[in-house]
């Protein structure tokens, strides 16, 4: 592999002040083909980036929890058809908030919310902070996107909110994985942190992964302000134990650790049986995929991608960058990204701490500020160019 263009790209991003620093890993056939360490661990103090830097993973925590849930399915302790209320009775009285103009009209559920809905984000749960709608406004008012809620407060507030869609009606990216993590806690009587440590991290040798940066001196920091938007940047406080284990956004880890996780899924040599590992990264939306695309920017996987169980899956050749059908991928709000091409035996990721807040907090201006999206597309393109 010739990844000199990839190396030059990340060096340029740092030199131009668009990234504070990054760690980049590309593996092929299970062997590391490229390792790049760029810029600063802490730009405010001038500390250089290090290979074993810890990064806030945000939504790249979601694949961990999805794989964890499937370990319970493998043992027969959990079914994807189980209703959520079986484990969390407080969710037995959910309603759907049908959006009619700026009004929210409540209607009963046509069927129960299931574990499968949580895994493929067809639960109707949403995020209040991403884009705008009447139901999303209710989520913002309730504060369920906040990181500082206790588990009990989070579940109580979320159960009182309406779903944006009927279960199974649409792909709606939201708090489903957070709820799934708490469901697994209720099922097992253990914390999500304990479950991930026992079932995922320890078996794979992921020594630096969890919900807390145990060595804060290795924690990567962002610029004080976003280089494109000028907004002040405040990332999750992960130096101490969190008020709850947020399965959708609370993880911390290193590039080496995350590569171990990706390789375990790619090869089927990990916490999941190979059949379930393949099942996790297959398309699970089917006919919902083209309908989701019609909704525009809210449909996060983007052109060419559908969604599996915790990851986006390439289903069509169209898209903004090269990829093979069956490639699977996801990203984190804090500036992290990975993709895996099972046919070319590639696992590639970069970890940085440079979110672009404008595109989600002011979506009407998003077309003018897409540093994160451009970085993801350039990364994938340059990796594929390096294969030829």
pLDDT by residue for the chain (388 residues), tens only, comes to 899 999 999 999 999 999 999 999 999 999 999 999 999 999 999 999 999 999 999 999 999 999 999 999 999 999 999 999 999 999 999 999 999 999 999 999 999 999 999 999 999 999 998 888 999 999 999 999 999 999 999 999 999 999 999 999 999 999 999 999 999 999 999 999 999 999 999 999 999 999 999 999 999 999 988 887 777 888 899 999 999 999 999 999 999 999 999 999 999 999 999 999 999 999 999 999 999 988 887 888 888 999 999 999 999 988 888 898 999 999 998 999 999 999 999 999 999 998 665 555 565 554 445 788 889 999 999 999 998 7
Q: How far apart are CA 374 and CA 77, in angstroms?
A: 42
**Is position 66 annotated as part of the catalytic site?**
no
| Close Cβ partners of 385 (under 8 Å, ≥ 6 residues apart) | 5, 322
Q: How far apart are CA 373 and CA 305, in angstroms?
A: 14
At residue 369, φ and ψ (nearest 5 deg) are -155, 95
Residues in the chain: 388
- Name the active-site residue from 59, 66, 209, 306: 59
* Contact call for residues 131 and 118 (beta carbons, < 8 A): no
Rounded to the nearest 10 degrees, the angle between the axes of helix 4-15 and helix 371-385 is 160
Q: Which DSSP string corresponds to 242-310?
A: -SS--TTTBEEE-HHHHHHHHHHHHHT-SSS-HHHHHHHTS---TTHHHHHHTTGGGSTT-TTEEE-SS
Element (H, E) at 241: none
Q: Which domains does the chain have, with CATH numbers?
A: 4-56+191-385 (3.40.710.10), 74-186 (1.20.58)
How many CB atoms are closer than 10 A to CB 102? 8
Q: How far apart are CA 180 and CA 119, in angstroms?
A: 8
Tell me what pLDDT residue 354 has.
Answer: 81
Q: Where are any strands of DSSP class E within the chain?
A: 21-28, 31-42, 47-48, 55-58, 95-100, 103-108, 251-253, 305-307, 312-314, 328-332, 336-341, 346-352
* Contact call for residues 77 and 108 (beta carbons, < 8 A): no
Tell me what pLDDT residue 247 has.
Answer: 97
Rounded to two decimals, the pTM is: 0.95
**CA nearest neighbour of 338 among 10, 26, 39:** 26
How many CB atoms are closer than 10 A to CB 203? 14
**CA nearest neighbour of 359 among 333, 323, 340, 341:** 333
């Amino acid at each position: 592999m010739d990844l000199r263009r990839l190396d030059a790209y990340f060096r340029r991003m740092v030199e131009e002040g668009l990234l504070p620093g990054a760690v980049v890993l590309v593996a092929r056939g299970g062997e590391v083909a490229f390792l790049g360490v760029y810029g600063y661990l802490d730009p405010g103090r001038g500390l250089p980036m290090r290979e074993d830097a810890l990064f806030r993973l945000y939504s790249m925590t979601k694949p961990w929890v999805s794989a964890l849930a499937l370990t319970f399915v493998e043992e027969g302790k959990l079914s994807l058809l189980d209703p959520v209320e079986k484990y969390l009775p407080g969710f037995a009285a959910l309603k759907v908030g049908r959006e009619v103009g700026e009004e929210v009209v409540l209607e009963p559920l046509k069927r129960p919310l299931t574990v499968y809905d949580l895994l493929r984000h067809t639960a109707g749960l949403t995020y209040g902070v991403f884009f705008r709608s009447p139901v999303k406004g209710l989520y913002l008012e309730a504060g369920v996107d906040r990181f500082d809620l206790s588990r009990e407060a989070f579940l109580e507030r979320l159960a009182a909110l309406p779903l944006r869609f009927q279960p199974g009606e649409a792909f709606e990216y939201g708090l489903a994985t957070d709820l799934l993590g708490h469901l697994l806690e209720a099922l097992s009587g253990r914390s999500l942190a304990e479950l991930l440590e026992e079932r995922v991290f320890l078996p794979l040798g992921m020594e630096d992964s969890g919900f807390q940066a145990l060595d804060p001196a290795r924690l990567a920091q962002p610029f004080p302000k976003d280089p494109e938007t000028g907004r002040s940047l405040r990332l999750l406080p992960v130096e101490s134990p969190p008020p709850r284990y947020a399965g959708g956004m609370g993880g911390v880890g290193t590039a080496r650790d995350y590569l171990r996780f990706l390789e375990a899924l790619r090869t089927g040599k990990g916490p999941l049986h190979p059949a379930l590992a393949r099942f996790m990264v297959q398309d699970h939306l089917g006919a919902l995929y083209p309908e989701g695309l019609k909704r525009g920017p809210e449909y996060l996987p983007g052109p060419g991608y559908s969604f599996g169980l915790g990851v986006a899956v390439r289903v069509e050749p169209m898209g903004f960058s090269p990829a093979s059908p069956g490639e699977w991928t996801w990203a984190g709000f804090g500036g992290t990204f990975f993709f895996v091409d099972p046919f070319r035996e590639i696992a590639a990721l970069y970890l940085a701490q440079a979110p672009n807040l404008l595109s989600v907090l002011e979506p009407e201006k998003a077309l003018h500020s897409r540093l994160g999206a451009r970085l993801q597309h350039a990364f994938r393109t340059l990796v594929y160019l390096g294969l030829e």
